[in-house]
Every structure is written in C-alpha cells, then in structure tokens.
Amino acid sequence: MKRNYKKNLAKKGWSEAEIKRVEKSLETGFKHEVYFSRILFYSALMLVVFANLLISLAIMFLAIVLNSLALYSIIVITAAMVGFLYNFLITDIGHLEKKHHVFASILLPLVGLFNLALIVIVSNKLVTDLGLGIEHNPWVVGFVFIVAFILPSVVDKLFFQE
C-alpha cells in the first residue's frame, strides 16, 4: 500500500482513530503472514528431508539388485521429483528471506548426500556379506542424487524467474 493512503482515507471522511486502527490491523495481519510462512517453510523442509530419507531407504534395496545404469536412472528420476516438489513448495511461500533459501539450499543437498552415502555403504556391505549384486560407489551415487535434486531449482531460476 502506498504511503499516501492516509491522505486518501482522510479525504474520504475517515477519522484519525479509524486510520490508526486500519494500520494496526494491517500490521497484525502481516506479522501473522510472516509467522505462518516460516511454519510452512520449515514444514516443507522437514517433508523434503523425510522424502530424502525414504528414497534413500528404497535405493538401498535397489542398489543390491540393480546395475549402475538402472540405479542411476532411478536416482535421477526420484531426486528430480523431490527437487521439483521442494522448488514448488519453497518458491510459492511468501515472506521468506534470502537466509531461508540459502539455509535450505545448503541443508537439503547435504542431507541427501549423507543419506545416500550411508545407504549405499550399508547396501555394499550387504552385497559383500551375502555375495549378491554389484557394489556401487557411494560418492558417485550421492553426487548424481544432488545434481538431479538441484536441477529443477536451477532450471526454474535460470529460465522461469525474472
């Protein structure tokens, strides 16, 4: 709202008390919007971290039985889907500061890398103990996941945002 709204309201016959009451109401509404935006942001962040964990657990079992190409294809598809979900949720939340986006942009890939590295290490241990399947490099799997996870956000920022 522009700053000259007080003059416009006064011209329309509003009293000073009514104008102050409207200002207070608008400020209170804005504070509530900021509060709920933060709650939504952290909820979306927890949702994506939980989705990363579930994907990592599913990939543990797939890593035991799939060859590298099939495993990487599944990782790219699932990571891109979760990355798209994250980007969709976060970009539509209003009243977020740059620090929120930076925090999430650092935290989520690290969580994904840690989850996948841990899961691939566990699956490789199972493969060697049971004599099944193919061992996979946990850092390559984690890197593929991170790139596919970040890609929707990068594409959105490069091509669709002003």
CA atoms within 13 A on the CB side of 101: 16
pLDDT in tens, 1-52: 445 677 777 777 888 887 778 777 766 666 667 777 778 777 877 887 887 7
- How confident is the model at residue 58, as a pLDDT? 81
* Residues 73 and 14: beta-carbon distance below 8 Å: no
pLDDT in tens, 42-65: 787 788 788 778 877 887 778 778
pTM of the model: 0.66
- Which of the four pLDDT bands, split at 50, 70 and 90, describes residue 158? confident
> In this predicted model, what pLDDT tens digit does every residue of 100-128 receive, in sequence order?
767 777 777 777 777 777 777 887 788 78
Domain residue extents for the chain: 41-160
Alpha helices in the chain (DSSP H): 5-11, 16-65, 68-91, 98-130, 138-155
As a whole number of angstroms, the distance between CA 70 and CA 66 comes to: 6
What pLDDT shows up at residue 13?
A: 80
